[in-house]
Amino acid sequence: MKYGKVVHGRLVKKINRFIAEVLINGTTEKVHIKNTGRLKELLQPDAEVLLEFSDNPNRKTKYSLVAALKNGRWVNIDSQATNTVAFEALKSGKIAEFGLVDTVRREVTYGDSRFDLYFEKDHQKGFIEVKGVTLENNGMALFPDAPTSRGTKHVLELAKAAQEGYRGVILFVVQMKGCTGFAPNREMDGAFADALSQASQQGVEILVYDCIVKENELILGVPIPVT
């Protein structure tokens, strides 16, 4: 997926989950953070960041913060981008575990949940739940970076769908390059880690792909192992 007009900035401070102050071309601007996670290791004062400009007069902020520089590499933090990246890759047959599918739709309801993607291939039907990963520690990608009861609910619903004959897949999209493996962040959210293990035992597939992060683009990369 591609962004529109992207500019560089320097983070002054994070005000709350949704708003930060960023120095852009010598002016301090309040900007929207396109992620409700904690992002503690990324959004540090003076961090170099990327922002997408919007000329929508109805917006409260002119900019959305979409990426931050960590150890010389860009980490995309846009939680909305991962679904689009996964949709584009699935539709074009670039996810090896699926190949070309016959049908793909976004935001499809099943039971009490709405899954990110629904697909059909040959006579098989399935759901994919996409989770964006922004937390990295010593080369290991970790999810989540904050407790997520909603994420746990989605995982358990996906296990139920798998038990009822659908193909159920959780696709973790690591929004950076350079990670050597992935693991659930049990220290942050043990319930999610337990749900993921349970779902795996009930037939849910766990896939992890990294991303190519450019200043104005995010592209699904290659698989990385689950540990």
Model pLDDT for residues 171-183, shown as the tens digit of each residue: 999 999 999 999 9
- Asked which of 42-46, 48-52, 108-112, 210-214 is least confident by mean pLDDT, the reply is 108-112
Q: Is 49 helix (H, G, I), strand (E, B) or coil?
A: strand
| Omega before 223 within 30 of 0, i.e. cis | no
Place of tokens 């990670």: 179
Residue 113 pLDDT more than 90?
Answer: no
Q: Which domains does the chain have, with CATH numbers?
A: 6-73 (2.40.50.580), 81-223 (3.40.1350.60)
Sign of the Cα torsion 32, 34, 36, 42 reads negative
Bridge partners (DSSP) of residue 158 are: none
Beta bridge partners of 168: 127
Q: What three-state secondary structure class fits 44?
A: coil
The one-letter amino acid at 175: Q
